[in-house]
Amino acid sequence: MTTPDRPRISLLGTSALLFEAPGAFDLPHQRRIWALAATASKWPGIREAIPGITNLMLTFEMPPRELDTLIAALNDAWDAAEGLAIGGREIRLPVTYGGEIGSQLRSVADHCGLSVDDVVAIHAAPLYTVFALGSHPGYCYLGGMDPRITMPRRQTPLQRSAGGSVSIGGSQTGVSASPGPSGWHAIGHTNWTFFDPSWPTPAALAPGDTIRFEIERVIR
């Protein structure tokens, strides 16, 4: 389970199992995760197959008596998985960087040895891909952040962070869909509706969609 080029599979109690792919945090690996999710979600006894960032959580309808069969099936399916290219839609999201909600913009700049303007320019440059949904209703984890603006998660998570916060956590970035606790650093905010339980599909975005952040304003 610890061989570097093999997946890591671990238990989340008796209600779920976590599969972590070896290799880089990049789109080709994520496409294989999407393919694995599509396969595993059809297996008997699996309630849901939930992609994370180059990993996959399987939740159980009923916990399996023994896990070896499932683990072997996951390993085989991973080896067989061809990347699933999802052609999503592109969203443009205007962002106000800094200010009260994006109060960590300066800390990220200081931590990374960059100016505030550099952080904003670097953050807004890429076309991000929605890798996975998670955390809270409608929240998207994005792939494609420039590693120069990486900042470790908080020592102690905040009890409450604002809805619409554009944040950095480790080498990842994302936008919160509603207020709540967070271990990430908010550098800006956006006004957009990411989730509505009355929609046929409650989340506005799906894995494979792309996001471009537009710099609406920078509050220094």
CB closer to another protein, 96 vs 176:
176
Which is it for the CA torsion 139, 141, 146, 152, positive or negative?
positive
Using the 8-state DSSP alphabet, how is residue 85 labeled? Answer: -
CB of 170 to another protein, least distance (A): 4
Of 9-17, 95-103, 109-117, 211-219, the segment contacting another protein by CB under 8 A is 9-17
CB of 172 to another protein, least distance (A): 6
Q: How far apart are CA 166 and CA 212, in angstroms?
A: 12
Contacting residue, 99, 135, 215, 216, with another protein by CB under 8 A: 135
Q: Which of residues 42-61 bind another protein (CB under 8 A)?
A: 47-57, 59
Interface with another protein (CB under 8 A), residue total 58
Give the count of beta carbons closer than 10 Å to the beta carbon of residue 217: 12
CB of 219 to another protein, least distance (A): 27
Give the count of beta carbons closer than 10 Å to the beta carbon of residue 141: 22
Kindly state whether residue 152 participates in binding another protein, applying the rule CB under 8 A. yes
Contacting residue, 6, 12, 125, 193, with another protein by CB under 8 A: 12
Kindly state whether residue 7 participates in binding another protein, applying the rule CB under 8 A. no
Token pair for 7: 């997946």
Angle CA 69–71–73, to nearest 5:
70
Token pair for 22: 């070896």
CB closer to another protein, 62 vs 125:
62
Token pair for 88: 């999503």
Taken as a whole, the chain contains a residue count of: 220
| Cα Rg, the chain, nearest whole Å | 18
CB of 124 to another protein, least distance (A): 22
Kindly state whether residue 130 participates in binding another protein, applying the rule CB under 8 A. no
Picking from 104, 144, 106, 140, the residue whose alpha carbon sits closest to that of residue 124 is 144
Token pair for 212: 């471009």
Q: How far apart are CA 52 and CA 41, in angstroms?
A: 14
CB closer to another protein, 126 vs 183:
183
Kindly state whether residue 25 participates in binding another protein, applying the rule CB under 8 A. yes
Residue ranges that bind another protein, judged by CB under 8 A: 2, 8, 10-16, 18, 20, 25, 47-57, 59, 63, 65, 67, 132-139, 141, 152-157, 159, 169-172, 177-181, 183, 195, 197, 201-203
